[in-house]
Amino acid sequence: MTAAADPNAWRLATVRSVVRETIRAVTVRFDVPGWPGHLAGQRIDVRLTAEDGYSAVRAYSMSSPPGSPTVDVTVERVPDGEVSPFFVEEVRAGDEIEVRGPIGGAFTWTPAQGGPILLVGGGSGIVPLMAMVRAHAAAGDDADVRLALSARTIEDVIFAEELRELGETGTIRLLETLTRGAPPWWHGATGRVDLDMLSAFAPSPADEPTIYICGPEGFVETVVAILLTIGHDPAAIRTERFGLNG
């Protein structure tokens, strides 16, 4: 393997732009020389180093689909975090940051795999799922792709406009639920993802969907338990969890 293709090699990436997604989340778009390409669902490590030599490394899922001209990570600010506040509040176009990747292989999807697929995201767990949705949209195929997304409030829904447009055009089937109250005009679901919600929305177990779940530990465990209760094959369920050490 050449150094340029080594996912374990640190590369100096340049921030091309920063897109505000919500009050607490941004998408940072990197130009990464020698980037070997990635699959939807993979992540990268980023390393920040202070003037005194102290460094912090964090893993972030990529929201950009394969073939994107930039490597995009979407970061939500974690209270008292070391790295996420820098990305959400301070990073600017032109900044240079060390990255390495792509990382991960089990939690990935390609359009060649087809459907049906069920994506279930909690909060910023939407990020790797969004890369899958975008890969599906770019392929223009007729795979059955369903996304169930749970967020605290309407203001916390990352990629809200793009997701609703994809839902309206029939590219995906979209279920949104808000857990901490909804505005008067809201027509989506409210409350936590539960058995009734997923029973009505998920593909039938007989259709043998591949299922991807991403979010906080408790959210992931709850959704897995619900899907097993419905009768989905444990071998078809792929999970990714994130902590609160941002």
The band of 246, judged by pLDDT with boundaries at 50, 70 and 90, is low
Q: What is the dihedral of CA 105, 9, 132, 25, to 10 degrees?
A: 130
Domain 111-242 sits in CATH 3.40.50.80: yes
Residue 26 pLDDT: 97
**Percent of the chain scored above 90 by pLDDT?**
83
Residue 245 pLDDT: 62
CA distances in angstroms from 176 to 73, 165, 197, listed in the order given: 22, 13, 10
Is residue 129's pLDDT more than 90? yes
Query: Is the link from the previous residue into 116 a cis peptide, with omega within 30 of 0?
Result: yes
Is residue 2's pLDDT more than 70? no
The band of 7, judged by pLDDT with boundaries at 50, 70 and 90, is confident
Residue 6 pLDDT: 81
Is residue 52's pLDDT more than 90? no
Q: Are 72 and 63 in contact (CB under 8 A)?
A: yes
Cα separation, 91 vs 151, in Å, equals 25
Cα separation, 52 vs 44, in Å, equals 24
Is residue 1's pLDDT more than 70? no
Mean pLDDT for 108-128 is 95
Q: What is the mean pLDDT of the chain?
A: 93
Angle between helix axes 160-168 and 126-139 (nearest 10 degrees) is: 40
Cα separation, 173 vs 167, in Å, equals 6
Mean pLDDT for 79-98 is 91
Beta pairing class for 25-31 and 71-76: antiparallel
pLDDT (tens digit per residue) in 179-206:
998 889 998 999 999 999 999 999 999 9
Q: Are 129 and 147 in contact (CB under 8 A)?
A: yes
Domain ranges in the chain with CATH number 2.40.30.10: 3-103
Beta bridge pairs of residue 147: 119, 174
Residue 181 pLDDT: 85
CATH topology of domain 3-103: Elongation Factor Tu (Ef-tu); domain 3 (2.40.30)
166 vs 50, more confident? 166
Cα separation, 38 vs 104, in Å, equals 10
Residue 5 pLDDT: 67
Closest to 73 in 3D by CA, of 94, 101, 49, 110: 101
The band of 149, judged by pLDDT with boundaries at 50, 70 and 90, is very high
Domain ranges in the chain with CATH number 3.40.50.80: 111-242
Mean pLDDT for 12-32 is 96
CA torsion sign for 83, 84, 87, 89 is negative
